[in-house]
């Protein structure tokens, strides 16, 4: 195992904050002495989205720690899902069957295993211990925390202040998550800064129950391609880990220069020394485009080992070697015209094509592509999303903006 200091540097790379840093050092000392990896906990909601680089931040950090010799436990918070919305107010929160929960979890973990090391990861369901607790144990759990402390959680504070009802059961959600840390004897819990309250509660509950407290590693929230907002699918500023290699490469090249180092820190597994060197080079006047180009290769390689070289080649041909402007014209479309057929009038208006029939001719001849993938006539009802790049003929590109 690597030295404590070396491990600390890798763990701290890009992290917003580590609470219990001293605890973590002690755990690492022991781990090295006993040559036994630490247990890293990651709690996940069973409602699985498509994973993008924003989600990858904590997962990559876990991967880095696994490469240091530690093991991860991914806790699927199915207990809440099993209960549904006990007030019966939310139709969307009907209780899920055990099969549904397992199925949702599988969709999600399949994606997760593209980042974390499956060999060193255990997936567990928190219902397996939470459903066993009886009222007496729940009361003991509740006694570990004061009402004032829980009301301090930002969203509760806000709702209480504004007279928005808080069901008493909601106070238990952070406690359940905290209890997961107890059940797993977690050494480290990792999460986004939005999980600060819950993860710190895990720390205090472990102490209250006479256990060693977990260290808490908080990763920042990644900004999307716009450079400002949190990366998210609904804002269209995301890079999905399943996007085609060409699209991924191209999108990384659209990352604002100001975020290049942040992306190196948060979405790659590059060593802190390498990142520090790049940072220094940028300060010394190195062209950001070159550093970003390297970033695009690294990121594409992480998710498309076999196709990364091709994607790079495609990018070079389409955007660098043939004099095609890197800033693709934007095509602003209405939300209700978001299919390929729906944007034809706009394409005529913007003089991409002379007529609908011309467009159809080019399409039928394979002269149209979406994010590098050739389109066919069967795909006229293809839904377009913000950020999609359409190529028409040999040199005309349009980027969809909604």
Q: Which is nearer to a second copy, 35 or 132 (CB)?
A: 132
C-alpha triplet 199, 201, 206: angle, nearest 5°:
105
Q: Which is nearer to a second copy, 33 or 143 (CB)?
A: 143
To a second copy, the closest distance from the beta carbon of 198 in angstroms equals 15
Give yes or no for residue 276 binding a second copy (CB under 8 A): no
Q: Which helix (H) or strand (E) holds 111?
A: helix 98-112
Distances (CA, A) of 332 to 232, 277, 394: 20, 40, 21
Judge whether 66 and 36 are in contact, CB under 8 Å. Answer: no
Q: Measured in whole angstroms, how far is the alpha carbon of residue 206 from the centre of its chain? A: 28
To a second copy, the closest distance from the beta carbon of 97 in angstroms equals 14
> Which value, in Å, is the radius of gyration of the alpha carbons in the chain?
24
From residue 195 to residue 234, the character string flagging contacts with a second copy as x (rule: CB under 8 A) and all else as - is: ----------------------------------------
To a second copy, the closest distance from the beta carbon of 212 in angstroms equals 19
Q: How many CB atoms lie within 10 A of CB 351?
A: 8
Beta-carbon contacts of residue 377 (< 8 Å; ≥ 6 apart): 360, 363, 364
Give yes or no for residue 134 binding a second copy (CB under 8 A): yes
SS3 of 136, please?
helix
Q: Which stretch binds a second copy (CB under 8 A): 7-15, 41-49, 145-153, 344-352?
A: 145-153
Give yes or no for residue 124 binding a second copy (CB under 8 A): no
Q: Which is nearer to a second copy, 174 or 387 (CB)?
A: 174
Binding a second copy (rule: CB under 8 A), the pick from 22, 91, 143, 394 is: 143
Distance separating alpha carbons of residues 213 and 186, to the nearest angstrom: 8
Give yes or no for residue 33 binding a second copy (CB under 8 A): no
Q: What are the structure tokens assigned to 228, written together?
A: 């400002």
Q: Which is nearer to a second copy, 7 or 181 (CB)?
A: 181
Judge whether 268 and 286 are in contact, CB under 8 Å. Answer: no
Beta-carbon contacts of residue 357 (< 8 Å; ≥ 6 apart): none
Distance separating alpha carbons of residues 7 and 3, to the nearest angstrom: 6
Give yes or no for residue 146 binding a second copy (CB under 8 A): yes
Q: Which is nearer to a second copy, 182 or 278 (CB)?
A: 182
How many chain residues interact with a second copy (CB under 8 A)? Answer: 37
From residue 154 to residue 193, the character string flagging contacts with a second copy as x (rule: CB under 8 A) and all else as - is: --x---x--x-xxxxxxxx--x------------------
Give yes or no for residue 92 binding a second copy (CB under 8 A): no
233 is an annotated ligand-binding site residue:
yes
Buried b (16+ CB within 10 A) or exposed e, 57-77: bbbbbbbbbbebbbbbbbbbb
Give yes or no for residue 86 binding a second copy (CB under 8 A): yes
Residues 42-71 that bind a second copy (CB under 8 A): none
To a second copy, the closest distance from the beta carbon of 199 in angstroms equals 18
To a second copy, the closest distance from the beta carbon of 146 in angstroms equals 4
Binding a second copy (rule: CB under 8 A), the pick from 63, 82, 292, 396 is: 82
Binding a second copy (rule: CB under 8 A), the pick from 106, 140, 185, 207 is: 140
Q: How many CB atoms lie within 10 A of CB 211?
A: 14
Distance separating alpha carbons of residues 297 and 248, to the nearest angstrom: 10
Distance separating alpha carbons of residues 327 and 216, to the nearest angstrom: 41
Q: Which is nearer to a second copy, 113 or 197 (CB)?
A: 197
Residues 358-397 that bind a second copy (CB under 8 A): none
Q: Which stretch binds a second copy (CB under 8 A): 9-17, 81-89, 245-253, 258-266?
A: 81-89
To a second copy, the closest distance from the beta carbon of 92 in angstroms equals 16
Distance separating alpha carbons of residues 51 and 59, to the nearest angstrom: 10
Q: What are the structure tokens assigned to 321, written together?
A: 């070697």
Pairing of strands 121-125, 71-76: parallel
Query: Where on the chain is the footprint of a second copy (CB under 8 A)?
Result: 79, 82-83, 86-87, 130-140, 142-148, 150-151, 156, 160, 163, 165-172, 175
Return binding residues for ATP.
Answer: 233
């Amino acid at each position: 195992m690597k030295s404590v200091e070396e491990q600390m540097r890798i763990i701290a790379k890009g992290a917003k904050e580590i609470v219990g840093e001293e605890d973590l050092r002690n755990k690492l000392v022991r781990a090295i002495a006993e040559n036994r990896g630490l247990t890293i906990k990651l709690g996940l909601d069973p409602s699985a989205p498509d994973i993008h680089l924003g989600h990858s931040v904590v997962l990559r950090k876990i991967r880095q720690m696994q490469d240091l010799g530690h093991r991860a436990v991914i806790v699927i918070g199915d207990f809440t899902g099993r209960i549904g919305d006990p007030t019966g107010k939310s139709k969307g929160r009907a209780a899920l069957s055990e099969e549904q929960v397992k199925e949702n979890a599988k969709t999600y973990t399949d994606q997760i295993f593209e980042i974390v090391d499956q060999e060193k990861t255990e997936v567990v369901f928190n219902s397996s211990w939470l459903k066993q607790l009886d009222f007496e144990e729940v009361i003991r759990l509740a006694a570990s925390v004061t009402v004032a402390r829980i009301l301090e959680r930002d969203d509760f504070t806000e709702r209480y202040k504004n007279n928005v009802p808080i069901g008493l059961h909601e106070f238990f959600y952070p406690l359940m998550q905290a209890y997961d840390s107890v059940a797993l004897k977690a050494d480290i819990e990792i999460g986004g800064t939005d999980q600060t309250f819950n993860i710190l509660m895990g720390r205090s509950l472990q102490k209250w129950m006479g256990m060693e407290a977990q260290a808490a590693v908080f990763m920042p929230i990644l900004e999307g391609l716009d450079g400002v907002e949190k990366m998210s699918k609904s804002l269209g500023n995301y890079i999905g880990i399943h996007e085609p290699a060409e699209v991924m490469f191209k999108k990384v090249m659209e990352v604002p220069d100001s975020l290049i180092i942040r992306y190196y820190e948060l979405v790659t597994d590059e060593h802190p020394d390498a990142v520090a060197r790049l940072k220094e080079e940028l300060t010394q006047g190195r062209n950001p485009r070159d550093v970003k180009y390297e970033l695009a290769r690294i990121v594409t390689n992480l998710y498309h080992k076999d196709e990364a070289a091709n994607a790079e080649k495609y990018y070079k041909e389409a955007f660098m070697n043939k004099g095609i402007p890197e800033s693709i014209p934007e095509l602003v479309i209405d939300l209700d015209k978001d299919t390929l057929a729906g944007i034809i009038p706009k394409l005529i208006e913007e003089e991409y094509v002379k007529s609908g029939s011309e467009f159809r001719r080019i399409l039928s001849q394979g002269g149209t592509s979406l994010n590098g993938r050739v389109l066919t006539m069967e795909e006229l009802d293809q839904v377009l999303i913000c950020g999609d790049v359409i190529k028409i003929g040999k040199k005309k590109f349009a980027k969809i903006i909604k």
